[in-house]
Amino acid sequence: MSIPMIKLDHMSHSYTDEEGKQVYAVRDVSLSIQTGEFVAIIGTNGSGKSTLAKHFNVLLVPTEGTCEVCGMRTDDPDLTWDIRQKVGMVFQNPDNQIVAAIVEEDVAFGPENLGVPSEEIKKRVKAALERVNMTQYAHHGPHLLSGGQKQRIAIAGILAMQSQCIVLDEPTAMLDPIGRKEVMDTIHQLNAEGITVILITHFMEEAVTADRVVVINHGRLQMDGKPRDIFTHVRELKDMGLDVPVSAELALRLREKGISLDGTIITKEELGDALCQYS
Amino acid sequence: MSIQLENVSYTYGVGTPFEKTALRNVTMEISSGDFVGIIGHTGSGKSTLVQMLNGLLHPTMGQVTVNGMDIRQKSKAAMDMRHKVGMVFQYPEYQLFEETVAKDIAFGPRNMGLTEEEIEQRVKEAMEFVHLDYEEYGNRSPFRLSGGQMRRVAIAGVIAIHPEYLILDEPSAGLDPVGREEIFSEVQRWHEEKNITVILVSHNMEDISRLANRLIVLDHSEIILDGEPLEIFAKQQDLLHRAGVSVPPVTEVLQYLQGRGLPVEDRVRTVEEAAASIYAGVRGNTHAH
């Protein structure tokens, strides 16, 4: 088997709180994410999912256990910049990640810092903007863009660094429905082109579109499987304080009312198929 | 008692090359006791609209009155009236700044010129309202709290000025279902017990359909729809879609099922009601066969 994009081995992250107690934000997580996967990470506020993700591009290093990116250990300071070139991060607030006054300069910021020759930068910026479908905005001021467009610019900045993996921490939380769709379409298209995608989200309608869903609860890895394996556990997820896709919950409630529906329904199409057969 | 907007327009950067009209000729009234949801895509004018309701922005044309008072005036009475309209901005936790939770919440009441006893009273009451224990959290640094707790401190800071009208701009963005429920159950209680008027700006259609009794949809700087939320979600899909907004997830599933020919009612607020609606539809169908 090839080297995984991300490999965590009994990784923990703890800190000492103001009363001197040791608190674990992430505890004993072992996890492998292969190149090309689309993984959604879900969990409540404070579950540790963002802390976990910050290890993937060395914003944090483990206090116990190890985190490897493409076989490189993140606790080796000599490898930090190599790792950050492999894995890029997109955060929740689109306004906090834009650094330049012109879209194409913003996208060029990453490769410039890597010392890429300027002819090569131009090519990369052009290609990156094409891939997120923002070419026509290359000369715009970023402040005039919508939230969804700003997030796509942030993604283009990562592509211009030729990263192979994008970690997105609730990238759609501040966006309107159209912006959310733009961002989701973009990351699905990039994933189809081979980019590894790790998406942290509170929207279960987004998580259900991933290849794989990882559930973090109180810092621990609680569940890990295909969306269908995860989201059919409606009660367990609700008990953890999480939502489930509406169709999965409706199917469960209808079963409880005595309508015999298949236990694997998680999308509206599947619910529609089952109900049409039923009547 | 109401907030009234009469032929209100707002243009940013008048006389510059960046001149942009954010709101065009809006006339409406928000009556005391309403729970109003405002939706629209980014840039549709929502934030401009709500910032005019408490005088953070003054209209380029037209007039905004709160309980009959023109809030553009600089008089003490107009200032006092602006205090009746409390505003919780997006991501209010980033606006906390004091050393302790209690001091942060006291900032508003102190600016209103209340006495120390009155301020302390208001801080305690506001903390109780957002379920933060005064003894335990009052002297803590707000920056040591979780995101959800910080947001509750920020909301308590606005509650402490005793607003008659409470404006919430995306209060649930980034919160999990439990955090959302914590905030909205408090807001709803405040709305019901104290008859406070709530104006909720949100991209979360589920929150709007669950809570609001009136829905205003903005598109391209104008109000395009104003009515009962379930009615709008049921009948105006095309206009909503054109305005760049959507229906709540539960409504979307029900409308999809209708499209497949199932006789289900889509005017529901919750998943529970939706299950009952499908159940009734499917059972009715089975009996008919």
Taking an 8 Å cut-off on Cβ atoms, the answer to whether A18 and B178 are in contact is: no
Distance of CA A36 to the CA centre of its chain: 13
pLDDT band (50, 70, 90) for residue A102 = very high
Query: Burial, B85: exposed, middle or buried (Cβ in 10 Å; 0-12, 13-18, 19+)?
Result: buried
Q: Does A246 touch chain B (CB under 8 A)?
A: yes
Q: pLDDT-derived band of residue A279, with 50, 70 and 90 as boundaries? A: low
Q: State how far the Cα of A203 lies from the Cα of A195, in Å rounded to an integer.
A: 21
Mutate to test the interface with B, among A268, A269, A277 (most CBs of B within 10 A): A268
- State the nearest Cα–Cα gap between A179 and chain B, in angstroms: 8
Partners of B265 on chain A (C-beta within 8 Å) are none
Q: Is A162 inside any structural domain?
A: yes
Residue A225: inside a domain:
yes
Share of chain A above pLDDT 90, in %: 83
Distance CA B183, CA B35 (A): 15
Taking an 8 Å cut-off on Cβ atoms, the answer to whether B174 and A272 are in contact is no
Instruction: Answer positive or negative: Cα dihedral of B250, B211, B219, A153.
Output: negative
Whole-structure pTM value: 0.88
Using the Cβ of A173 and the Cβ atoms of chain B, whether some distance falls under 8 Å is answered with yes
For residues B169-179, average pLDDT: 85
A179 touches chain B (CB under 8 A): yes
Orientation of helix B101-111 relative to helix B116-129, angle to 10°:
120
Q: Which of A93, A202, A275 sits opposite B262 (nearest CB)?
A: A275
Rounded-to-integer distance, Cα A44 and Cα A277, Å: 36
Domain annotation covers residue A276: no
pLDDT at A162: 94
Average pLDDT over residues B45-73: 93
Question: How many structural domains are present in chain A?
Answer: 1
Q: What is the pLDDT of residues A180-205, one digit of tens each?
A: 999 999 999 999 999 999 999 999 99
Mean pLDDT of B235-250: 92
Residue A115 lies in a domain: yes
Q: Nearest-CA neighbor of A69 among A45, A89, A95, A41? A: A89
Indicate the residue of B90, B178, B289 with minimum beta-carbon distance to A44.
B178
| pLDDT given for residue A1 in this prediction | 63
Other C-beta atoms within 10 Å of B129: how many? 18
ipTM of the complex: 0.84
**Token duo for residue A249:** 């919950």
Average pLDDT over residues B130-147: 89
pLDDT at B238 (0 to 100): 92
Q: Identify the closest residue of chain B to A243 by CA–CA distance.
A: B177
* Domain annotation covers residue A253: no
Check if the beta carbon of residue B9 is closer than 8 Å to that of residue B62: yes
Residue type, position B281, single letter:
G
What are the DSSP calls for chain A, one per residue? -PPPSEEEEEEEEEEE-TTS-EEEEEEEEEEEE-TT-EEEEE--TTSSHHHHHHTTTTSS--SEEEEEETTEETT-GGGHHHHHHHEEEE-S-GGGS--SSSHHHHHHHHHHHTT--HHHHHHHHHHHHHHTT-GGGTTS-GGGS-HHHHHHHHHHHHHHTT-SEEEEESTTTT--HHHHHHHHHHHHHHHHTT-EEEEE-S-HHHHTTSSEEEEEETTEEEEEE-HHHHHT-HHHHHHTT----HHHHHHHHHHHTT----TT--SHHHHHHHHHHH-
CATH, residue A170: 3.40.50.300
Is A114 in the B-facing interface, judged by CB distances under 8 Å? no
Task: Specify the pLDDT at position B182.
Answer: 83
Q: What is the pLDDT of residues B45-55, one digit of tens each?
A: 998 999 999 89
- Please indicate, yes or no, if residue A270 is contained in any of the structural domains: no
Which pLDDT score, from 0 to 100, does residue B289 have? 43
Answer whether B177 sits within 8 Å of A243, measured CB to CB. Answer: yes
Strand pairing category for B61-66 and A64-69: unpaired
A275 interface with B at CB cutoff 8 Å: yes
Best of B176, B210, B272 to disrupt the A interface by mutation (most A CBs within 10 Å)?
Answer: B176
At residue B170, does pLDDT exceed 80? yes
Minimal C-alpha gap between A19 and chain B (Å): 12
pLDDT of B17 higher than 80: yes
The CATH number that domain B1-84+199-246 falls under is: 3.40.50.300
d(CA A87, CA A81): 10
* Residues in chain B closer than 8 A to A177 (CB atoms): 41, 203, 205, 244-246
**In chain B, domain spans:** 1-84+199-246, 248-289
Share of chain B above pLDDT 70, in %: 98
- pLDDT, position B285: 62
Q: Which residues contact B161 (CB under 8 A, 6 or more apart)?
A: B83, B86, B108, B109, B112, B122
User: Which of B20, B39, B42 best probes binding to A when mutated, by most A CB atoms within 10 angstroms?
Assistant: B42
Check residue B287 and give its pLDDT.
Answer: 52
**Mean pLDDT across chain B:** 91
Q: Which residue has the tokens 């489930």?
A: A244
**Domain with A222 in it:** 6-244
pLDDT at A31 over 70: yes
Q: Look-up: residue for tokens 């194409």? A: A104
From the list B174, B179, B249, which residue is nearest A246 (CB)?
B249
Closest alpha carbon within chain B to A147: B42
Which residue in B has a C-alpha nearest to residue A92's C-alpha? B174
Question: Over chain A, what is the mean pLDDT?
Answer: 93
Q: Tell me the count of A-B CB pairs closer than 8 A.
A: 111
- Residue among A249, A264, A265, A259 nearest A279 (CA): A259
pLDDT of residue A145: 87
Chain A residues touching B244 at Cβ < 8 A? 176-178
Would you call A39 an interface residue with chain B, using a CB distance cutoff of 8 Å?
A: no
CA distance B177 to chain A (A): 6
B209 contacts B249 by C-beta, under 8 angstroms:
no
- pLDDT surpasses 90 at B13: no
Distance from CA of A173 to the nearest CA of B (A): 5
Residue A265 falls inside a structural domain:
no
- Chain A positions touching B285 (Cβ under 8 A) are 279
**Hey, is the C-beta of A93 within 8 angstroms of any chain B C-beta?**
yes
| Mean pLDDT on A162-188 | 93
